[in-house]
Chain A
Amino acid sequence: MRNSKVFWLLSLVLVLSAFLAACGGGEDTSTEPSDSEGDKEKESASGEMDSVQELNLMESAEIPTMDSALAEDAVAFNIMNNVNEGLYRLNQENVAEPAVAEGEPEISEDGLTYTFKLRDAKWSDGSPVTAQDFVFSWQRAVDPATGSPYGPYMMAGTIKNAAAISEGKMDKAELGVEAKDEKTLVVTLERPVPYFMSLMAFGTFLPQKEAFVTEKGDAYASNSENLLYNGPFTLTNWDGTGLTWTMEKNPEYWDAETVKLDKINVDVVKESGTGVNLYTSGEKDRAGLSGEYAMQYADDPEVVRELEPTVFYLKFNQERNGKETPLANVNIRKAISMAYNKQDLVDVVLANGSLPADFLVPTEFTFDESKKDFREVNGKMNEFNAEEAKKLWETGLKELGVTEVTLEMLGGDSELAKKMDEYMKSQLEGNLEGLTINLKAVPFAVRLELDEKQDYDIQNSGWGPDYQDPMTFLDLFVTGSAQNKMGYSNPEFDKLIEQAKGELAQDIPARWEAMAKAEKILIEDDAAIAGIYQRGIMSLQKPYVHDIVVHPFGGDFSYKWAYISGKE
């Protein structure tokens, strides 16, 4: 009772002050009509847009860097997606559409040369965004002197000469990107890349203005003053290491009339309980729900559920310390991959809206030209089937000539990871007679190191995409890949991946088919890995918040289209 009264009083004060502010400044009133017109096009239930367009959000970690050449984490990519803009941007349907680029590029017949025309976009200091800004920042990202991990990772094998430059074997001027004139950018690729447009929406490919970066030197990107913005918002009040910052509408943005929010106030809150309390008190408009909170709020009407394109799976190590493990036997692998109930796992243990993953390439992530989900091609593979698993297991044991197998299962050390691995152990041991699983819970850094040394039997692992294409998941498991530290090698699989990357790159349907076939080999025929779940996230979101767009890769959210309606 008391709470709601205070809340009403507060809202009243807010409304009043907004009115007063609107009366005082001529600018505010002049933007009002166009705003509400824009709103009518929307199918908003509550109709009118509020006069105060302010969104209050939380992040789970600080910004490690705002230098697009150095960024490698979710928070930085998310903010960059909202304060900067590359050639392309993911739209509300998560399809990459031209942003700084004006219209579709001209693509050469061999699919290797892209010629982009740039629109008249501006930096927040009023100067134009030029083709040279892209050349500079891309070169900077692969320059060994910059020490960027993501520059080489995103560009090597894609942009011409990026790999050699990143290894210090070639000058950065040789990179396959060139400014023909101020508004024409020519990009040369190493091989045809069918998902190149979506790549252009990724943070590593954002432009940087050379004069500004050089002038600031070491201070570049050290706080919100030492940065330039060309996106829907500008970053303000960020001191470089602090827990708080603001995003404000960027008047210089070429599409500023689409942007409805005036201000986004962000605070870093690492404790999910605190986040929920701030949400309940009305200070924050959206709060992520993790673990126990997901369960507690599952039926709350303000819960929004989103499916992330992050998939978790078991890696089966076939060769440990130079010796074959029991997992080198395909029947043993298959048996294990079918011996745990994934539905119960997501419903009871995870309870956060995750999906059982009888696959590798996630649902609602990539679509063919007729908007059909890649997932529909192969459907489910190696579904839970205790009977079948038992049969395969017995065959496998016979082939190995043993009656008992003991395997070590490597996993994370978070509460959730431990709970999940306990569940996996009980399922596997219960359904496969003679199997003993020893759990080993270690911190993330240790797990990476053990993975690197290929020192484990089974590993509970996960992967999120770096670009919008099934390939970002599939090529992890080609022979010798840095992620394939499990002794898996199938020439047929390798060949399909190579074809999809090379000769089929311009034959979209055939490429799609090759990738689907590769996934089938990997999971159904070889059971090289076994899917566990695709992560879902649950958040609380105030009903007056509209049109925050959630993206499957790159920046997690776009606030460009978001607005407040019905708070007042």
Chain B
Amino acid sequence: MARYIGKRLIYMILTLALIATFTFFLMKILPGSPIASAGKLSPEQRAVVEEAYGLNDPLPVQYFNYMFNLAQGDLGISINQFKGAPVTDLILSRMGPSAQIGFQGMVLGTIIGILLGMIAALRQNTWVDYSSTLIAIIGISIPSFVFASMLQYFFGLKLEWFPVALWKDGFMSSVLPSIALAMFPLATAARFIRTEMIEVLGSDYITLAKAKGASGSEIAFKHAFRNALIPLITVLGPMTVGILTGSLVVEQIFAIPGIGEQFVKSIMVNDFSIIMGTTIFFSVFLIVVILIVDILYGIIDPRIRLSGGKSS
């Protein structure tokens, strides 16, 4: 196991270096300059300003400088969004709120989704099943900006149960955005669990377990549910990264100081160091989660347990 993880770590660093390289050169192809008022300057003045931000060096030089700093954990400073602010500080300060609403939304959505999916599978083709499917379809198909706006309007403005927006009232501020984020994992979990459980419940070993006299709940939880989890974990891993690293739409609607909208904006305004910093940060997150998912597989299903790196 230790050897497997060690090997995976080396691959992870290589992957990261590749991602950083690709992002760097793709980003440099983006049209426009990170100097917002570049168009107002004479060519000489513009060169002077670009010099101050190290944008005049040949591309390979810029690339190696960046990678060298990156290896030391230095993500550079923001060029135009927060002039001079270290990107690391920005990510750290913006990550908290995104992670909080993301985590809450993920937990809430997955738990309710799993419950809905299980109930639907155990009561297949009854009204319970149909209404759970309906919720899942609604959750997938309503765009999050519509859903978030509706939550804000009814539970914030009309009923006054929660703050309309802004990140000022601790947990209360996080409730509506968390619910808005929960819809997608909820729907996904419900669909996966239902399909998988119906399949598992029809398989031979369940019939055997029944014949051996295992109780209904034992079959449902110990056998069927556990096996149904595998595909769910596969999709939940990357989804967790996606949701924890912030949602542009939900963060904007609830005016939350999160990382998601920062990432999108940095691309719009060519703030190179923020684009790179957030991309690398997201990548690290994703790669680590994929590793965790792979390890979890083994715990849940002994058939794919890893040993000695054979399975890679």
Question: Do A and B actually bind?
Answer: yes
Interface residues of A (CB under 8 A from B): 2-3, 6, 62, 64-65, 67, 70, 72-73, 144-150, 152-153, 156, 163, 166-168, 218, 221-222, 239-244, 267-271, 273-274, 277-278, 280-281, 283, 443-446, 448-449, 451-452, 482-483
Question: In the bound complex, do residue B45 and residue A274 qualify as a contact, i.e. CB atoms below 8 Å apart?
Answer: no
Knowing A147-B53, A153-B41, A167-B44 are in contact, say whether A239-B84 is a contact too (CB < 8 A). no
Q: Of A2, A67, A148, A241, which is within 8 A of B93 by CB? A: A241
Minimum C-beta distance from B160 to chain A (A): 6
Question: In the bound complex, do residue A445 and residue B31 qualify as a contact, i.e. CB atoms below 8 Å apart?
Answer: yes
Question: In the bound complex, do residue B82 and residue A65 qualify as a contact, i.e. CB atoms below 8 Å apart?
Answer: yes
- Closest A residue to B168 by CB, please name it: A244
Can you show 19 pairs from A to B with CB atoms below 8 A apart?
Answer: A3-B160, A70-B83, A147-B52, A153-B40, A156-B42, A166-B44, A222-B84, A240-B85, A240-B89, A241-B257, A270-B255, A270-B261, A271-B252, A274-B254, A277-B164, A281-B156, A283-B166, A445-B32, A452-B39
Would you list which residues of chain B between 22 and 81 have a CB under 8 Å from chain A? 30-33, 35-42, 44-45, 48-49, 51-53, 80-81
Closest 6 CB pairs of A and B: A445-B32, A147-B52, A65-B83, A167-B44, A149-B37, A144-B48
A188 vs B305: C-alpha distance when bound (angstroms): 79
Minimum C-beta distance from B223 to chain A (A): 47
Question: Which chain B positions have C-beta within 8 A of A482?
Answer: 39-42
Question: In the bound complex, do residue B52 and residue A269 qualify as a contact, i.e. CB atoms below 8 Å apart?
Answer: no
Q: Of A62, A145, A239, which is within 8 A of B81 by CB? A: A62
Q: Of B49, B165, B254, which is within 8 A of A149 by CB? A: B49
Question: Is residue B297 within 8 Å, beta carbon to beta carbon, of the partner chain?
Answer: no
Question: In the bound complex, do residue A149 and residue B42 qualify as a contact, i.e. CB atoms below 8 Å apart?
Answer: no
Question: In the bound complex, do residue A273 and residue B166 qualify as a contact, i.e. CB atoms below 8 Å apart?
Answer: no
Question: Is residue B232 within 8 Å, beta carbon to beta carbon, of the partner chain?
Answer: no
Given A65-B83, A240-B89, A448-B33, 14 additional A-B pairs, CB 8 A: A6-B160, A65-B84, A144-B48, A148-B49, A149-B45, A241-B85, A269-B165, A271-B252, A274-B164, A443-B268, A444-B32, A445-B269, A448-B39, A451-B39
Question: Is residue B152 within 8 Å, beta carbon to beta carbon, of the partner chain?
Answer: yes
Minimum C-beta distance from B16 to chain A (A): 25
Question: In the bound complex, do residue A149 and residue B261 qualify as a contact, i.e. CB atoms below 8 Å apart?
Answer: no
Minimum C-beta distance from A480 to chain B (A): 11
Question: Is residue B21 within 8 Å, beta carbon to beta carbon, of the partner chain?
Answer: no
Q: Of B41, B94, B256, which is within 8 A of A152 by CB? A: B41
Minimum C-beta distance from A157 to chain B (A): 10
Question: Is residue B281 within 8 Å, beta carbon to beta carbon, of the partner chain?
Answer: no
Question: Which chain A positions have C-beta within 8 A of B45?
Answer: 149, 152-153, 156, 163, 166-167
Question: Is residue B205 within 8 Å, beta carbon to beta carbon, of the partner chain?
Answer: no
Question: In the bound complex, do residue A218 and residue B157 qualify as a contact, i.e. CB atoms below 8 Å apart?
Answer: no
Question: Is residue B270 within 8 Å, beta carbon to beta carbon, of the partner chain?
Answer: yes
Which of B40, B93, B168, B261 is the most central at the interface, judged by chain A CB atoms within 10 Å of its CB? B40
Minimum C-beta distance from B166 to chain A (A): 5
Minimum C-beta distance from B163 to chain A (A): 8
Question: Is residue B175 within 8 Å, beta carbon to beta carbon, of the partner chain?
Answer: no
A449 vs B39: C-alpha distance when bound (angstroms): 9
Knowing A241-B94, A280-B157, A449-B31 are in contact, say whether A166-B48 is a contact too (CB < 8 A). yes
Q: How many pairs of residues, A versus B, come closer than 8 Å at their CB atoms?
A: 152
Question: In the bound complex, do residue A271 and residue B253 qualify as a contact, i.e. CB atoms below 8 Å apart?
Answer: yes
Question: Which chain A positions have C-beta within 8 A of B39?
Answer: 448, 451-452, 482-483
Question: In the bound complex, do residue B32 and residue A448 qualify as a contact, i.e. CB atoms below 8 Å apart?
Answer: yes
Question: In the bound complex, do residue B268 and residue A277 qualify as a contact, i.e. CB atoms below 8 Å apart?
Answer: no
Question: Which chain B positions have C-beta within 8 A of A278?
Answer: 164-166
A122 vs B45: C-alpha distance when bound (angstroms): 34
Question: Is residue B11 within 8 Å, beta carbon to beta carbon, of the partner chain?
Answer: no
A146 vs B253: C-alpha distance when bound (angstroms): 36
Minimum C-beta distance from B60 to chain A (A): 23
- Closest A residue to B91 by CB, please name it: A241
A269 vs B152: C-alpha distance when bound (angstroms): 14
Question: Which chain B positions have C-beta within 8 A of A222?
Answer: 84-85
Q: Of A70, A277, A446, which is within 8 A of B157 by CB? A: A277
- Closest B residue to A150 by CB, please name it: B37
- Closest A residue to B53 by CB, please name it: A147
A283 vs B168: C-alpha distance when bound (angstroms): 12
Minimum C-beta distance from A15 to chain B (A): 20
Please encode chain B, from 143 to 178, with 1 for each CB lying within 8 Å of some chain A CB and 0 for all others. Answer: 000000100110011101000111110000000000
Minimum C-beta distance from A458 to chain B (A): 19
Question: In the bound complex, do residue A144 and residue B40 qualify as a contact, i.e. CB atoms below 8 Å apart?
Answer: no
Knowing A72-B37, A152-B45 are in contact, say whether A218-B166 is a contact too (CB < 8 A). no
Question: Which chain A positions have C-beta within 8 A of B90?
Answer: 241
- Closest B residue to A167 by CB, please name it: B44
- Closest B residue to A67 by CB, please name it: B83
Question: In the bound complex, do residue B36 and residue A72 qualify as a contact, i.e. CB atoms below 8 Å apart?
Answer: yes
- Closest B residue to A144 by CB, please name it: B48
A240 vs B85: C-alpha distance when bound (angstroms): 8
Minimum C-beta distance from B128 to chain A (A): 35
Question: In the bound complex, do residue A449 and residue B32 qualify as a contact, i.e. CB atoms below 8 Å apart?
Answer: yes
A277 vs B157: C-alpha distance when bound (angstroms): 7
A243 vs B257: C-alpha distance when bound (angstroms): 6
A73 vs B83: C-alpha distance when bound (angstroms): 12
Minimum C-beta distance from A275 to chain B (A): 9
Question: In the bound complex, do residue A147 and residue B152 qualify as a contact, i.e. CB atoms below 8 Å apart?
Answer: no
Knowing A168-B48, A243-B255, A443-B268 are in contact, say whether A281-B40 is a contact too (CB < 8 A). no
A81 vs B253: C-alpha distance when bound (angstroms): 29
A482 vs B43: C-alpha distance when bound (angstroms): 9
Question: Which chain B positions have C-beta within 8 A of A3?
Answer: 158, 160
Knowing A241-B94, A277-B157, A449-B32 are in contact, say whether A64-B52 is a contact too (CB < 8 A). no
Question: Which chain B positions have C-beta within 8 A of A72?
Answer: 36-37
A70 vs B85: C-alpha distance when bound (angstroms): 13
Which of A65, A144, A267, A271 is the most central at the interface, judged by chain B CB atoms within 10 Å of its CB? A271
Minimum C-beta distance from A138 to chain B (A): 16
Q: Of A147, A240, A283, which is within 8 A of B48 by CB? A: A147
A64 vs B79: C-alpha distance when bound (angstroms): 9
A13 vs B187: C-alpha distance when bound (angstroms): 43
A6 vs B156: C-alpha distance when bound (angstroms): 13
- Closest A residue to B40 by CB, please name it: A153
